[in-house]
Chains A and B, each alone.
Chain A
Amino acid sequence: MAKNNFSSKIFLYLVSAVIFMFFFSFMLVPLYNVFCEVTGLNGKIYGPSSFFIKDREKEKDSREIRIKFLSQVNESAPVKFFPSSNEVKVWTNKVSKTSYIAENTTDKQLTLTIIPSVSPGLAAENVKKIQCFCFEEQVLMPYERQEWPVRFYVSSEVGDNVNDIYLSYTLFETDRVLTDNMNHGK
């Protein structure tokens, strides 16, 4: 019977390993996000930053970088969405301003989420946004046109081989309030 006790011990140990691995798979999500933030794996930008130049950033000379703005409307959201200027040249560690224009082409109220993405991914953590419409959901009334400002700067810590940065915004429709009762059926 001594053998049985040992057996249940290893059994319990294996079952807890299974449970741990199940939760580990969920832990992969925050781990992945941290990993992405550190390595710029997927070109994601996380949250707003304030304009603050660290000492070690000051050591590097400011240089000129070309930023191109891209827009993309996904899953057929009925919105016209484009940058007001396609390309700017910015100096590192200097705040720049641009804007995007969004226009609702329907007679319905639309709620929108806009997701930023930076290419090359490794430059993502050096594109710091002070103000951006991507931080929160945006609402457009029927046929409304809005101009959404973006204030950002590129840290001088950006890699030396980075000369062109692509800043892309993808717009998704998250909610639509019908103002008419048309039903298209399937």
Chain B
Amino acid sequence: MRYKLGLFLLLIASFYTSADWLDVNMPVGVTDISKEVFELHMAIFFVTVAIGVIVFGFMFYSMWRYRRSNNKKPAKFKENHKLEILWTVIPTLILVAMAVPASVTLKKIYDHEAEEGGMDIQVVGWQWKWQYKYLDEQVGNKPLSFFANLTTPPDQYEYNRVEKGENYLLEVDEEVVVPVNTPIRFLITSNDVIHSWYMSDFAVKQDAIPGFINVAKTTINEPGIYRGNCTELCGERHAYMPIVVRAVTKEEYDEWVLEKREAMEQLNFLTEKEWTADELYAQGEEIYKTRCAACHQVNGAGITGFYPALAGSDVVMNDKTGQIEILMEGIRGSQMQSFAEQLNEVDMAAVITFTRLAWNNDKQGDGTIVVPNDIVDYKKGDL
């Protein structure tokens, strides 16, 4: 009996000491500025707690001491000028004492931003993903660039069919890899509506506004994987565009850039390769899940009134060129974006092929597939 009770208590204890229950404060973060912001936060927090304790303490004491059963005759005083001046002056002094360190920290953030040098990453908010352009790493005449899409499958968040993973809603297909101890300027803008790029561990939150560039500068002190979110309501899938930054040593970073470059060169080779329908279908299915399923749904049925169905769609079944055009150019005035920048030729061909063969579309329509060279031809204006 005692043994069981002990086990039970242990269970309760482990329940309450599990990290999530104690996850009640701001992270200290991994930059000098985030540490300073954390200290500022704790300082003002304790000041407000102290104010609360004094004011409420006196109030609760009065409430108890001067309850009617204890004090039949109320006093009659209405004002006291000395007291009133006192409780205007003291809060003013407290506020000044808070404003000074706050202003100093704020100035430090702005000074750090203005400091010369560092690497530049342009961050573009899209409905509902982030694009990163490494301005200092040119590939051809364009900066090294990629999109970061949520990889948590709908089975976890929408249908709740499988157990949620450790980084539920905080995982993406392409992490932003950056070197530690290097000042990084994030130049933040947006492709459509206002987003906000929020990395708690760096104490960075900067709105992404279409047509304008906002700057946030950060120098990460410790290697690691850091996760953040979009914090400005940007439409339906606002909660599904996380940020994942992987801070690594300078050497690892250079290696990563090299790999990225090689992968891009590899692409030409892949485009030339002879692709079978099965290969394209398999690759397309994966892309469909992360890029398309959110709106058009896993079963291709769309959402009536918002997102058109692809299953049984005339364009998807019979109009190959039309479908490529929609993916390349998007549909103006709708949520359908252009994927010309987001998908390379192989991925684009694969995902189109997948939609043309899946959900019985191949049986109802012409069943033709699209190969990477079709996309190349389209881009040349030959298709």
List A residues at the B interface (Cβ < 8 Å). 42-43, 66, 68, 70, 72-78, 82, 86, 105-107, 115, 117-120, 142-143, 161-164, 166, 168, 170, 172-173, 176, 182, 184-186
Contact = CB atoms under 8 A, between A and B. Distances in A.
Contact of B213 (A70, A74, A162, A164): A70
B315 interface: yes
Contacts of A176: 332
A120 B114 contact: yes
A43 B113 CA distance: 15
Nearest to A108: B329
A5 to B, nearest CB: 38
Contact of A164 (B116, B124, B381): B116
B211 A75 contact: no
B322 A182 contact: yes
B211 A186 contact: no
B329 A78 contact: yes
26 contacts: A72-B189, A73-B341, A74-B190, A74-B192, A75-B191, A75-B330, A75-B332, A82-B142, A86-B143, A115-B211, A118-B213, A119-B214, A120-B114, A142-B381, A161-B111, A161-B114, A163-B114, A163-B115, A163-B116, A166-B187, A166-B215, A168-B187, A168-B189, A176-B332, A184-B315, A184-B325
Q: How big is the B interface, by class?
A: 35 or more
Interface in B38-93: none
Nearest to A118: B213
Contacts, number: 100
Chain B contact surface mostly: mixed
Contacts of B214: 119
Interface string B233-277: 000000000000000000000000000000000000000000000
Q: Which of A42, A86, A166, A184 has the most CB of B within 10 A?
A: A184
Given A66-B116, A86-B138, A166-B213, 4 more contacts: A72-B124, A105-B328, A117-B213, A120-B113
Contacts of B329: 76, 78, 105-106
A118 B215 CA distance: 10
A184 B141 CA distance: 33
Nearest to B338: A76
Given A43-B212, A70-B122, A119-B215, A75 B135 contact: no
A76 B331 CA distance: 9
Interface string B114-132: 1111001010100000000
Contact of B340 (A43, A105, A184, A186): A105
B213 A78 contact: no
B17 interface: no
B319 to A, nearest CB: 8
Interface in B327-349: 328-332, 334, 337-338, 340-341
